[in-house]
Structure 1
Amino acid sequence: MTQLPLRAQLASALGRTAATLSRVTGRGDGSVIGGRVGLMLEPDLLRKLAADRKLVLVSATNGKTTTTRLITSALQELGEVATNAFGANMPAGHVSALSHAKQAPLAVLEVDEKYLPEVLDTTGASVVVLMNLSRDQMDRAAEIWLLAQKWQRALTGKNTHVIANCDDPLVTWGASTASRVTWVSCGQPWKEDSWCCPRCGGPLDRKGDDWACRECSFRRPEPAWLLDDDAVIDPARRRWVLDLQLPGRANRANAAIALATSEAFGLPVERALPRLREVRSVAGRYTTVERDGRALRLLLAKNPAGWLEAFEVSDPSLPIILSVNAQGPDGRDTSWLWDVDYRVLRGRPVYVTGERRLDLALRLDVAEVPFQLCDTFEAAVNLRPPGRVDVIANYTAFQRIRAEFGRAV
């Protein structure tokens, strides 16, 4: 790695100190404050820290943190990897991650969809991973077709290798201007945001994961990689059984993307896949924690597509606690709750908590799902006898629960 200029070295060192103080004083994990301090002292710090590294940027509405973890785990086969493991996915978080692994020749960074053009331009990343686009944080984010359009513009003229999910029409459109694309078919269970062609506005004909516009030539590209139930089929048409510890179809899709990305770095499946199988939880997601004889499995769901995935992982035989907030990181607009089909919860004991528990309670009442309203998460837990319980929470509610258990990873 090239030696950083003195100002950048100082900014990076002070940022790491701020991050350490944040952790020691219990104010947070330091993954944001350290980067903010560094950028205040050296506004071009991200560019300087990214120089001379082989860098992957991972962006999507759902699954960014998990896919970043899986790619990082695989690429560690090649050497040290810098990464923002806890999901601080804006420039301050990227600076903090790169500062803490100054000599790592590889870096895998989760990037907020809205910030991807800026971060790509700043870092000159050689690989970009694009997985899905759906409605999220509607008070903050633009319409998702505008995000896809920004991706298009950001990739135009760049010598960037894109790994993209061809089953999502918006992602396909967003990646269409890239100089090189590896298409991966990993599914799109949530289709409510992509029934119209992003190129011309015409209707899309959809059959399974295949799709094509009726009114123009825009259609699903032929994938090089294919998720096939519990296995991945590679470009040589070899079938690899995934056998992951992470549960659910969404994580198998994330693994398919991770394997395609690993190959872009020259890492074959037979070396990457064992690394993916070692991952058991991601920043608290899928972790089971204990409290007074109750085994609580923590699931994150931030938007309608995420709730669909969480329901697929959740055990229908278990009671379930639902917690919803509407702070800045969540988006303050909770109207998306009405896009989630909660009828799947009928017949289960359901407990509702969080700052916006009344919003969720109304939605469940309309869906005719019986529930019990609880003032706090602790009160909801105490209503259950010892045994297993599933917990689904959106972002800040999830982080608050996780903090109660010592930020379980």
Structure 2
Amino acid sequence: MAGNSDPLTPRAKLAVTAGKAVAAASRAAGRGSGSVIGGRVALKLDPDLLARLAQNLDVVLVSATNGKTTTTRLIAEALRAAGPVVSNALGANMPAGITSALAGNSDSKFGVIEVDEKYLAGVARDTDPKCIALLNLSRDQLDRAAETRMMAEAWREGLAGTKSVVVANCDDPLVVWAASSSPNVVWVAVGQMWKDDAWSCPSCGGVMQRPGDDWFCGECGFRRPTPSWALSGDHVLDPHGSAWPIHLQLPGRANKANAASSAAVAAVFGVPPQVALERMYQVQAVAGRYDVVQFMQRDLRLLLAKNPAGWLETFSLIDPPPSPVILSVNARGADGTDTSWLWDVDYTRLTGHPIFVLGDRKLDLAVRLEVAGQHFQVCDSLDQAVQMCPPGRIEVIANYTAFQDLRRRVGN
């Protein structure tokens, strides 16, 4: 890492100042946080700004289809045990948003950065990360994201020969294939609930064999590597075989998996598992996800699910029937405009729950639920759906922009 205490040139300082001014104007106009537009302006003025801002930081990048934002938050909490952290905690994960987050910081030791899958290789080039965490790859935003194997190939080529320590999920064949071009990989076994993007071998196209928790290609011999870290029930097993308890306020198995990966990352920076896992308990909600909010005399738990893998994990969290479930789906730019992924989700898991359907694409979702044999009601608004529910807790599951709409309505 560079020893210079102030790496910013006059041009870079001008870019940071201009970016902050534009972001402030955007916020004042009620157009969101302003982080993306501020970052875009700053990068226009100094295209090397991200590299300059990162050069005095020990950086960890986090990329995946699911779990990026939560894992980034858990790692940031863990690393605060060893020094101040700057992070793009609100999930603005493309170069402009990342630049904006780092520009707000001057004296941090660590940069914990969530990165959109498509931008990983470029951001890695700019930030010279000490560690890169790769959690999973699955289908998402079908109209504009690359097919999953193409994404894995972009990672594989972009990370080939990297000096970073790559912390990777050994249970996802696409992640293993992508990470295998890196000379220094720490394998973590955290499971893979959604397997429908990993039935063919990413290396040769052969059929993947999946006995139990293992996997291998019967044609080319590509196989699951032996992990040095593992999630085992409510514990993380470290490379020495010690079991460390996971205590989280965040619900579900997926978040235990995120914590296990986070503990492996923290160890790369010298933070021991016990300390890392204790600090993760501080995280109650992540950018509104998992929050329970009071609205119209009911308790609404807000859950984000953006793609089939995310919906599958979310269904495993919800209270048992007959707890009411509100589902909201949009198909705006940030969601991906193709809703055919709804047909990949197993909605029979909601049998027995009263279901209420909202969002721009509520009729697409209604057709899908009809075919799945579910009982549901289509509603015009959150207020109407909540009024139809009995007092008590309501599970509210939404994709990206629908989730933001709901947060605005409930004042979260």
TM-score by length of 2: 0.97
Aligned partners of 1:384, 1:121: CA distance in 2, in Å? 51
Q: How does 1:69-88 map to 2 (within 5 A)?
A: 69-88=73-92
- Counterpart in 1 of 2:278? 274
- Report the RMSD for the aligned CA atoms in angstroms: 1.1
- Counterpart in 1 of 2:398? 393
- Counterpart in 2 of 1:38? 42
Give the drift of 1:30. Answer: 2.3
* Maintained 8 Å contact 2:7/2:52: no
Amino acid at match of 2:391: P
Q: Deviations over 1:64-120 (max 9, x none)?
A: 000000000101111111111111110011001101112212101100111111111
- Counterpart in 2 of 1:237? 241
- Counterpart in 1 of 2:287? 283
- Counterpart in 2 of 1:117? 121
Aligned partners of 1:187, 1:6: CA distance in 2, in Å? 48
- Counterpart in 1 of 2:361? 356
SS at match of 1:108: strand
Aligned partners of 1:105, 1:24: CA distance in 2, in Å? 31
Give the drift of 1:125. Answer: 1.4
Alignment of 1:342 with 2:347, yes or no, is yes
- Counterpart in 2 of 1:22? 26
Alignment of 1:325 with 2:337, yes or no, is no
Give the drift of 1:39. Answer: 1.3
- Percent identity reads 57
SS at match of 2:167: strand
- Counterpart in 2 of 1:151? 155
Matched length: 407
* Maintained 8 Å contact 1:157/1:179: yes
Give the drift of 1:19. Answer: 2.2
Structure 1: which 5+ runs fail to align? none
SS at match of 1:313: coil
Aligned partners of 1:302, 1:316: CA distance in 2, in Å? 22
SS at match of 1:396: helix
Q: How does 1:7-406 map to 2 (within 5 A)?
A: 7-317=11-321, 318-406=323-411
TM-score by length of 1: 0.97
Aligned partners of 1:270, 1:220: CA distance in 2, in Å? 27
* Maintained 8 Å contact 2:201/2:207: yes
Amino acid at match of 2:338: D
* Maintained 8 Å contact 2:325/2:395: yes
- When structure 1 is superposed on structure 2, of 202-211 and 366-375 the one drifting more is 202-211
Structure 2: which 5+ runs fail to align? none
Amino acid at match of 1:361: A
Q: Deviations over 1:191-250 (max 9, x none)?
A: 010011110111111123211110112100000001001111111101111021110000
Aligned partners of 2:312, 2:360: CA distance in 1, in Å? 22
Aligned partners of 2:409, 2:16: CA distance in 1, in Å? 31
Amino acid at match of 2:400: Y
